[in-house]
Amino acid sequence: MADRAAIVGAGLAGSLLALFLARRGHRVEVFERRGDPRAIGCEEGRSINLGLSARGIRALRLAGLWERVRAVSVPMRGRMVHPPSGPPFFQPYGRDPGQILYSIRRDALSSILIDQAEKQPDVRFFFDAQVSGIDRESPALTVSGRGRVEADFVVGADGVSSLVRRAVPGGVRTDVLEWGYKELHLPETDRPQALHVWPGEGALMVAHPNLDGSLTCTAFLPHDVIAALPGCRAIEAFFDRVLPGARELVPDLAGQFAAAPAGQLTTVRATSWHHADRLVLVGDACHAVYPFYGQGMNSSLEDCVVLEECLARHPGDRLAAFADYQRLRKPHTDVLADLSADNFLELRDRLRSPLHLARKHADVVLNRLFPRHWQPLYTMISHTTMPYGQALRRARRQDAVLRAAAGAGLLAGAALVMRGRAART
């Protein structure tokens, strides 16, 4: 008899994995505490749209869903930067036409994944079904309104505050960033289809386009600043200072800002991704990252591909499959967590450092000269499916070359100076 899998959470990872597991002949039940996204659309207070890139796209291709998803997403061919002063400018992601991000609504993507999973014979989704307890030994779930549900194994696809993670014995490191975010809505515009970035002094705004031409903006700023902005006047004054121009863009910015819930940005690193052959974690449940590399969902979808490959490699031995999955995957998502945290610092501080900009520029120039051999880290992370750890190692090698080149340049310069001196004496 096929193994029964109980998946907690019908988010992006849970829904895709339901499909993959069903294809492998498992009987799958998915329990989701929210309502059916096909009926209710997007939940308040969650990021409404997301940037899909190479890794997520690959996973959707393997699920046979990429064309359907692409049809309802908006391509973003580059970054539109809106500096505090001066006109906006466009940075294409790359000359390679494949280097495109796609902006997709969370509920649209979920709906496609759930629809497809439900077409498999042995998959059932239960909505408004909160899991409140986990018996890690049976294993079994306690589900609101349904009582005890047994299974052969449980998948924790229940996101950043995962309950299943708490049932997996082991350690966990959690970082809540001192910056939070609020989502704002910009109605239809004639702005280009790009990822918009407003780098500010002590704040940062990003926007993804929607199919109807509107933009969903996310304003990132320190929690203590958010807390100290109770009135509309204070909010307006703040935006005028740190993000001049934002008020002209976002209608009733202060009202929207005051009404929006403040979101937290969290990094989670779980030490153990599985308990024996009975519990296993995917997505944000085991490795939530800050959104500053746009990789949270992409890496979560990639997890499902790796887990499915591991199950295929060890038929009949779930423990070996789960152990292999953690061994193969965790080192890379650990790198991603670090990179995402670094990118926060970069967006916040370094974008203004001339040395950093010079290095970035060299990166871009070298990439133009040697497109095959020289790839900026951002390109490898976002536009390839090379494992994260490997991308980082390659970037480090490239960096060493750049530094050596810079060092050699300095030495050559010094040599000239010395020669000049020697000639003069």
Ligand X SMILES: Cc1cc2nc3c(=O)[nH]c(=O)nc-3n(C[C@H](O)[C@H](O)[C@H](O)COP(=O)(O)OP(=O)(O)OC[C@H]3O[C@@H](n4cnc5c(N)ncnc54)[C@H](O)[C@@H]3O)c2cc1C
- Residues of this chain that bind its own copies (CB under 8 A): 136-137, 169-180, 222-224, 226-228, 230, 271-272, 275-276
- Give the list of residues 6+ apart from residue 222 with CB closer than 8 angstroms, or none: 178, 179, 180, 202
CB of 160 to ligand X, least distance (A): 6
CB of 106 to its own copies, least distance (A): 25
Q: Which residues of 216-252 are buried (b: 16+ CB within 10 A; e: fewer)?
A: bbbbbbebebbeebeeeeebbebbeebbbbbeebbee
Residue 275 partner contact from its own copies, ligand X, none using kind-dependent CB cut-offs of 5 to 8 Å: its own copies
Query: Measured at the alpha carbon of residue 194, what is the angle toward residues 188 and 197, in degrees to the nearest 5?
Result: 95
Alpha-carbon distance of 157 to 153, in angstroms, equals: 13
Q: What string marks each residue from 292 to 331 as x (binds ligand X by CB under 6 A) or -?
A: --xxxxx-x-------------------------------
CA-closest candidate to residue 157, choices 71, 271, 1, 283? 283
180 binds ligand X per the rule CB under 6 A: no
Q: What string marks each residue from 181 to 220 as x (binds ligand X by CB under 6 A) or -?
A: x------------------------------------x--
Residue 101 has which token pair?
A: 């991000």
Residue 78 partner contact from ligand X, its own copies, none using kind-dependent CB cut-offs of 5 to 8 Å: none
DSSP H stretches of helix in 294-387: 296-313, 318-348, 354-369, 377-383
156 binds ligand X per the rule CB under 6 A: no
Alpha-carbon distance of 205 to 230, in angstroms, equals: 19
139 binds ligand X per the rule CB under 6 A: no
Nearer Cβ to ligand X (9/78):
9
Q: What string marks each residue from 48 to 67 as x (binds ligand X by CB under 6 A) or -?
A: --xx----------------
CA-closest candidate to residue 302, choices 322, 318, 283? 283
Nearer Cβ to its own copies (305/339):
339
Distances (CA, A) of 78 to 26, 92, 342: 41, 4, 21
Residue 385 has which token pair?
A: 């499916």
7 binds ligand X per the rule CB under 6 A: no
CB of 199 to its own copies, least distance (A): 20
CB of 105 to ligand X, least distance (A): 12
Residue 116 has which token pair?
A: 């497809």
Nearer Cβ to its own copies (20/179):
179
Nearer Cβ to ligand X (305/366):
305
Q: Which residues pair with 8 in a beta bridge?
A: 31, 156
284 binds ligand X per the rule CB under 6 A: yes
CB of 279 to ligand X, least distance (A): 14
Residue 283 has which token pair?
A: 């997505």
163 binds ligand X per the rule CB under 6 A: yes
Alpha-carbon distance of 128 to 422, in angstroms, equals: 82
Contact residue for ligand X among 5, 19, 32, 305 (CB under 6 A): 32
Residues 251-270 that bind ligand X (CB under 6 A): 263
CA-closest candidate to residue 5, choices 272, 144, 23, 333? 23
Using CB under 6 A, list all residues that contact ligand X.
Answer: 8-14, 31-34, 47, 50-51, 130-131, 157-159, 163, 181, 218, 263, 283-285, 291, 294-298, 300
